[in-house]
Amino acid sequence: MRVSGVGARAYRLPLHRAWDGGVDRNDLVVVRVHTDTGQVGTGFAWTPLIGARAVEALVNDDCPAALVGREAHPALWDELCWHLREAGTSGLTLMAAAGIDIALWDLRARAAGESLVEAVGRRRESVSAYGSGVNLDYPLADLEDQVRRWVGAGHTAVKIKVGSAELSRDVERVGAVRELVGPEGVLMVDANQRWDVPGAARALGALADFDPFFVEEPLPAQDLEAHARLRERTGVPFAIGENLRTVQEFERAVELGVVDVAQPNVVRVGGITPFLRIAESMARRGVPVAPHLLPELSGQLALCLPRVAMVEEIDRASFAELGALARPSGVEFDRGRVRADTGPGHGLVFADTLTPVADHFP
């Protein structure tokens, strides 16, 4: 089975409610890899706001030369990235590689008559999940309503945003959520890189009484040395990784002692192939993985990881809830657990009624 063609198209997915900072949409780049046997694999890239048409162009214009005529297998990932290196070794090029890689894994699984979970290697039937929202700008009452919905759906673990201009606002909000989830509930906070070292130290000191399970991205993601300095000033565990891209970056974070939970995003790191490499590296170093967003795919991969923490169920922003899927994926979140029964491949069939990003430009 050899690659006979590659194509991509970018689509716009309006959010039900804007995320902090005015993020009112997610963009989806659907990638299809065609083969000489007539089989087609589907992959995707994903991004809030920025870069979808650039990824679309990279896939359509630059990826076919590295793929057409080659065996349709995820082992092509390293050669594809080498081919794309003149456009960069991170960022957009990894997102383009992700779309191809996910499609190749889909092809591999379906050619074998297996689900993606079975093709990668199932290790468990279900994984813990947590409710998550981009909610820093929510009024307190709206935040409390959101958390009540998560608790009502069976979640015993939740994550909320912190990093308000006034620390007292964060303290009030985290305290209110702790009351809602109870003393035994798992409460996580995410600062989305908003603090500096002294500000983070003060904030985490003030929030410590609410027993945060971890703080996510307390500082600018690339400044791992700053995280090391903060580590000396707080006992709150760190979760980082949604803005790291390579195995080497994750391993450096472990060396500096600043990652207690690793959070790779399967698209941002370049696809399933490098995601699994990162997960294996983290497992050897005693660090569990909690995949970042993209619950329909992250939930499947979490079932296969050697050392897993939990899966993020993002509030009203899964592909299904954004109307991106033509049918249910087979990935199910229920009572704080995620399971997957997709049939052959990854089960993600994207709707043919989506609005192309190009329609929003003259």
Element (H, E) at 5: strand 3-19
Identified catalytic residue from 34, 155, 159, 161: 161
Query: Do 267 and 288 contact (CB within 8 A), yes or no?
Result: no
For 178, the 3-state DSSP assignment is helix
Identified catalytic residue from 34, 155, 227, 292: 292
292 is catalytic: yes
Q: In what order do the strands lie in the sheet with 40-47?
A: 40-47, 23-35, 3-19, 355-356
Phi and psi at residue 35, in whole multiples of 5°?
A: -125, 165
Cβ contacts of 57 within 8 Å, gap of 6 or more? none
Query: Do 271 and 29 contact (CB within 8 A), yes or no?
Result: no
CA distance 155 to 151: 5
The length of the chain, given as a count of residues: 362
Question: Cα angle at 225 between 222 and 230, to 5 degrees?
Answer: 105
- DSSP code per residue over 101-133: HHHHHHHHHHHTT-BHHHHH----S-EEEEEE-
73 is catalytic: no
Beta strand 186-190 pairing with 215-216: parallel
Q: Which residues are catalytic?
A: 161, 292
